[in-house]
Amino acid sequence: MEAESGERRKEGISHFVLIHGACHGAWCWYKLSDLLKKAGHRVTAVDLGGAGLNPNDGDAIRTLAEYNQPLADIMKTLPDGDGPDEKEKVILIGHSLGGVDLTCMMEQFPHKIAVAVFLAAFMPVPGTTPLQLIGQFYQRYQTWGDMEFKYGLDGQPTSFKFGSNFALDYLYQKSPSHDITLAESLLRPHPVLDEEVVFSSENYGRVPRAYIVTKHDNIIWEELQRKMIADNPPDRVYQLEDSDHCPFFSCPIQLAQVLEEISTAF
């Protein structure tokens, strides 16, 4: 699903492209999208492979390219961002595991991105796999809770989906109950991908980066976010004091304010 509003970018108006995290979809941005649109911005939220209204089966996806194809298709339609198209560059935002997909787009389309925003997101170093990133959760808590896994014939996991108790304890503990009910009805299985994330200083490295820390995050906890920031320092760091892992539910107004600030800074 793709949601867009507003005119072509002009002075003071930005185009935000929103990348959801694991098991979520474009639907999770509904509060933030509304706030940004009301402020006059253009918003595009995308369903990645097997997510939201995307027709593919997440359990059958095996590569990052396949999973990211809907996002890459959108990026291909955008102006090049050079010369007279400079103001047409987008602000690309990746949440949670969507930081991997954001990283891939930075490598593929650096000239089209004004700033890449990692929102409570994994900010991988070269050679890291998505499976290794989510494995950090198990290393800390020694449990997957009621996470739902599917397995291939070789016994290896092919997809996962957040269980209701897991989501409440680790994703949405400060979020409104109606948003939790919405999420429970719309979450879909996310592919387990063991493919290395590859990027270069020539492409990824030319894109300005901002990181938004979520203070009360239970799945990508603050210490882990700070470690990623220290290992791969972005240009600017912001913090949401009252947010759980999903600020688009728990504190959308504050999130929109930070994004407005980012839009004027880059």
Active-site positions read: 96, 217, 245
**Dihedral pair phi/psi, residue 73, rounded to 5°:** -65, -40
Ordered alpha helix ranges (H), the chain = 30-38, 64-77, 98-108, 130-141, 164-166, 177-186, 222-231, 247-250, 252-265
Are the CB atoms for 8 and 41 separated by under 8 Å?
no
**Dihedral pair phi/psi, residue 39, rounded to 5°:** -80, 0
**Residue 91 DSSP SS3:** strand
CB neighbours (10 Å) of residue 199?
A: 19
Residue indicated by tokens 């890459």:
72
Residue indicated by tokens 């449990």:
143
CB neighbours (10 Å) of residue 178?
A: 9
One-letter amino acid at 203 equals N
DSSP 238-260: EEETT--S-HHHH-HHHHHHHHH
Are the CB atoms for 96 and 21 separated by under 8 Å?
yes
Distances (CA, A) of 179 to 28, 136, 171, 182, 252: 9, 26, 11, 5, 12
**Residue 165 DSSP SS3:** helix
User: Given strand 190-191, what is the order of strands in its sheet?
Assistant: 148-151, 157-161, 190-191
